[in-house]
Amino acid sequence: MSINSRNKGATFERQIANALINDLNLTNPVKRILEQTRTKELPDLMLGNWCIECKAYGSGAEPRPDWWEQVLASSKGADLKPALVYKFNNRPIKVRILACTINKDIKNTLVTVDLLWPDFIQVLLELFQKDIELHEKNFQA
Protein backbone atom coordinates (compact mmCIF):
# COMPACT_ATOMS: atom_id res chain seq x y z
CA MET A 1 0.00 0.00 0.00
CA SER A 2 1.45 3.35 -1.01
CA ILE A 3 1.84 6.26 1.36
CA ASN A 4 -0.84 8.23 -0.51
CA SER A 5 -3.43 5.44 -0.27
CA ARG A 6 -2.59 4.94 3.41
CA ASN A 7 -3.05 8.68 4.03
CA LYS A 8 -6.31 8.67 2.04
CA GLY A 9 -7.55 5.74 4.13
CA ALA A 10 -6.62 7.40 7.43
CA THR A 11 -8.27 10.65 6.35
CA PHE A 12 -11.48 8.81 5.44
CA GLU A 13 -11.44 6.97 8.79
CA ARG A 14 -11.18 10.32 10.60
CA GLN A 15 -13.98 11.75 8.42
CA ILE A 16 -16.28 8.84 9.32
CA ALA A 17 -15.36 9.03 13.02
CA ASN A 18 -16.23 12.74 13.04
CA ALA A 19 -19.44 12.12 11.08
CA LEU A 20 -20.53 9.53 13.66
CA ILE A 21 -19.88 12.01 16.47
CA ASN A 22 -21.81 14.79 14.73
CA ASP A 23 -24.66 12.76 13.24
CA LEU A 24 -25.32 10.72 16.40
CA ASN A 25 -24.72 13.66 18.76
CA LEU A 26 -22.11 11.71 20.70
CA THR A 27 -20.41 13.32 23.64
CA ASN A 28 -17.35 11.06 23.40
CA PRO A 29 -15.04 10.73 20.41
CA VAL A 30 -14.99 7.77 18.07
CA LYS A 31 -11.31 6.94 17.90
CA ARG A 32 -9.45 5.16 15.16
CA ILE A 33 -8.03 1.82 16.24
CA LEU A 34 -4.42 2.50 15.33
CA GLU A 35 -3.36 -1.06 16.11
CA GLN A 36 -5.38 -2.19 13.05
CA THR A 37 -2.44 -1.23 10.82
CA ARG A 38 -0.42 -4.03 12.46
CA THR A 39 -3.13 -6.54 13.44
CA LYS A 40 -5.23 -7.97 10.63
CA GLU A 41 -8.52 -8.72 12.38
CA LEU A 42 -9.18 -5.33 13.98
CA PRO A 43 -11.71 -2.86 12.57
CA ASP A 44 -10.89 0.74 11.77
CA LEU A 45 -13.51 2.05 14.23
CA MET A 46 -15.82 0.71 16.93
CA LEU A 47 -19.18 2.08 17.99
CA GLY A 48 -20.69 -0.06 20.72
CA ASN A 49 -20.71 -3.53 19.15
CA TRP A 50 -20.37 -2.24 15.59
CA CYS A 51 -17.08 -3.10 13.89
CA ILE A 52 -16.63 -0.47 11.20
CA GLU A 53 -14.25 -0.83 8.29
CA CYS A 54 -13.71 2.30 6.14
CA LYS A 55 -12.65 2.25 2.50
CA ALA A 56 -12.17 5.22 0.18
CA TYR A 57 -11.30 4.37 -3.40
CA GLY A 58 -10.87 6.31 -6.62
CA SER A 59 -13.04 4.71 -9.27
CA GLY A 60 -15.81 2.17 -8.98
CA ALA A 61 -19.33 1.71 -7.72
CA GLU A 62 -19.33 -1.56 -5.77
CA PRO A 63 -17.06 -2.54 -2.88
CA ARG A 64 -14.51 -5.27 -3.46
CA PRO A 65 -15.38 -8.68 -1.95
CA ASP A 66 -12.19 -8.69 0.14
CA TRP A 67 -13.32 -5.46 1.87
CA TRP A 68 -16.46 -7.22 3.09
CA GLU A 69 -14.45 -10.29 4.08
CA GLN A 70 -12.16 -8.02 6.10
CA VAL A 71 -15.01 -6.50 8.12
CA LEU A 72 -16.55 -9.94 8.65
CA ALA A 73 -13.23 -11.19 10.04
CA SER A 74 -12.98 -8.21 12.40
CA SER A 75 -16.52 -8.75 13.71
CA LYS A 76 -16.24 -12.39 14.68
CA GLY A 77 -17.46 -12.64 18.23
CA ALA A 78 -20.53 -12.41 20.38
CA ASP A 79 -22.89 -9.59 19.44
CA LEU A 80 -20.43 -7.87 17.09
CA LYS A 81 -21.98 -6.34 14.00
CA PRO A 82 -20.04 -5.65 10.77
CA ALA A 83 -20.35 -2.41 8.82
CA LEU A 84 -18.37 -1.54 5.71
CA VAL A 85 -18.37 2.21 5.05
CA TYR A 86 -17.17 2.90 1.53
CA LYS A 87 -16.86 5.78 -0.87
CA PHE A 88 -15.70 6.16 -4.44
CA ASN A 89 -14.73 9.50 -5.98
CA ASN A 90 -17.76 11.62 -6.94
CA ARG A 91 -20.17 9.15 -5.32
CA PRO A 92 -22.02 9.24 -1.99
CA ILE A 93 -20.84 7.43 1.13
CA LYS A 94 -22.54 4.06 1.52
CA VAL A 95 -22.61 1.46 4.27
CA ARG A 96 -22.94 -2.31 3.79
CA ILE A 97 -24.39 -4.30 6.69
CA LEU A 98 -25.94 -7.72 7.17
CA ALA A 99 -29.69 -7.68 6.47
CA CYS A 100 -30.33 -9.90 9.51
CA THR A 101 -28.87 -7.15 11.70
CA ILE A 102 -31.84 -4.91 10.98
CA ASN A 103 -34.45 -7.65 10.49
CA LYS A 104 -34.19 -10.77 12.64
CA ASP A 105 -36.70 -12.55 10.36
CA ILE A 106 -34.00 -12.79 7.68
CA LYS A 107 -32.38 -16.13 8.45
CA ASN A 108 -29.80 -16.14 5.66
CA THR A 109 -26.80 -14.49 7.30
CA LEU A 110 -25.11 -13.88 3.94
CA VAL A 111 -27.69 -11.34 2.71
CA THR A 112 -26.38 -7.78 2.79
CA VAL A 113 -27.94 -4.37 2.30
CA ASP A 114 -26.22 -1.19 1.21
CA LEU A 115 -27.48 2.04 2.77
CA LEU A 116 -26.72 5.66 2.07
CA TRP A 117 -24.92 7.29 5.02
CA PRO A 118 -27.98 9.25 6.29
CA ASP A 119 -30.05 6.04 6.19
CA PHE A 120 -27.41 4.15 8.18
CA ILE A 121 -27.41 6.92 10.80
CA GLN A 122 -31.20 6.73 11.03
CA VAL A 123 -31.03 2.93 11.47
CA LEU A 124 -28.50 3.39 14.28
CA LEU A 125 -30.68 6.00 15.98
CA GLU A 126 -33.86 3.94 15.73
CA LEU A 127 -32.65 0.37 16.22
CA PHE A 128 -29.27 0.51 17.93
CA GLN A 129 -29.58 3.00 20.75
CA LYS A 130 -27.92 0.40 23.03
CA ASP A 131 -24.75 0.54 20.93
CA ILE A 132 -24.71 4.32 21.14
CA GLU A 133 -25.17 4.13 24.93
CA LEU A 134 -22.47 1.43 25.18
CA HIS A 135 -20.05 3.69 23.32
CA GLU A 136 -20.77 6.59 25.63
CA LYS A 137 -20.56 4.45 28.78
CA ASN A 138 -17.39 2.56 27.81
CA PHE A 139 -15.56 5.71 26.89
CA GLN A 140 -16.14 7.19 30.35
CA ALA A 141 -14.96 4.03 32.14
Could you tell me which residues come within 8 angstroms of residue 126 by beta carbon, excluding any fewer than 6 positions away?
none
Angle between helices 117-127 and 3-23 (to 10 degrees): 50
Domain ranges of the chain: 3-119
- The percentage of the chain sitting over the pLDDT mark of 70, rounded to a whole number, equals 88
What digits encode the pLDDT tens for the residues 20-48? 999 999 999 998 775 555 456 789 999 99
Q: What is the pTM of this model?
A: 0.90
Average pLDDT across the chain, whole number = 89
Predicted confidence (pLDDT) per residue in 48-86, tens digit: 999 999 999 988 889 999 999 999 999 987 789 999 999
Q: Which CATH class for the 3-119 domain? A: alpha beta
The sheet carrying 50-57 orders its strands as 45-47, 50-57, 81-88, 94-98, 112-116
Model confidence at 4: pLDDT above 70: no
